[in-house]
Amino acid sequence: MNKDTVRVFLLWLALTALGELLVLRLNLFPLAAADEAVIVDRAFRTLLVLAVPVFVFVLVTLGYSVLRFRSRGQPEQDGPPVRIHKPWVVFWLVWTTALTLLVIVHPGITGMRELHMKAAEPVDLVVKAEGGRWFWRVTYPELGVTTTDEIVLPVGKHVRFDVSAMDVLHSFWIPAFRIKIDAVPGMVTRIDATPTQLGSFNEDAQMRLQCAELCGLAHAQMTVPLRVVSQAEFEAWIATQSRQARNP
């Protein structure tokens, strides 16, 4: 093994260790306010841990090659032929193929299975969300409440969102829950979430329902504040909304 290979290896080892330390120690993710958000963040963290060695290897090899073997002055003749190093090619192919298969299984299949198991749990509350240009109409069909001003959810309750669109394709996205699904005209799509933290849009901008599909001129304004409250506060809010509906 020549000295250049040793140098690249040692540099790769040191920077990979630093990168993994940053991934594991730093909080790189925004507010995670639902069980589903924890599952998704765990998957992303796993992908980052697996990606760091590959990313660092490419950067170190490229950077070292540019600095170490760069042309100095005007070349007078062609350089020596570059021959394939078959062991390195085989190693790279096997390593990257193994990583690809690994992430398909975990966190790919295992993560989706975990989300499906969460969605299969008994539903405590159904919320209907209809997207239109450029607003969301939110209905609590079992409670007889409809609003366009905000979404209020009780903490610790399994919520199922029935999502549809009135006109064009929209996308239902709550960043703090890490859930997103298309809102399609003429059909109902479903997605689940179990809020785990009290909070509101005023405290953290991730607590909102946002359209994530470019749907026209005011697409960026198609957002609704989200508030997660205690069960008692939720029941009081429902009572207030019902009174206002009866006495507009």
Share of the chain above pLDDT 70, in %: 99
pLDDT higher than threshold 90 for residue 247: no
Distance between CA atoms of residues 172 and 191, nearest Å: 9
For 158-183, how does the pLDDT look when each residue is reduced to its tens digit (9 = 90+)?
A: 999 999 999 999 999 999 999 999 99
Q: Name the average pLDDT for the chain.
A: 94
Across residues 35-51, what is the average pLDDT? 96
Q: pLDDT per residue over 67-124, tens digit each? A: 988 877 777 777 778 788 888 889 889 988 999 999 999 999 999 999 999 999 999 9
- The per-residue pLDDT for 168 is 97
Cα-to-chain-centroid distance, residue 232: 31
What are the structure tokens assigned to 120, written together?
């299969």
Q: How many CA atoms lie within 13 A of 178 on its CB side?
A: 19
H helices then E strands: how many in the chain? 5, 11
pTM of the complete model: 0.89
Indicate the CATH number for domain 125-246: 2.60.40.420
- Name the band, by pLDDT with cuts 50, 70 and 90, for residue 1: low
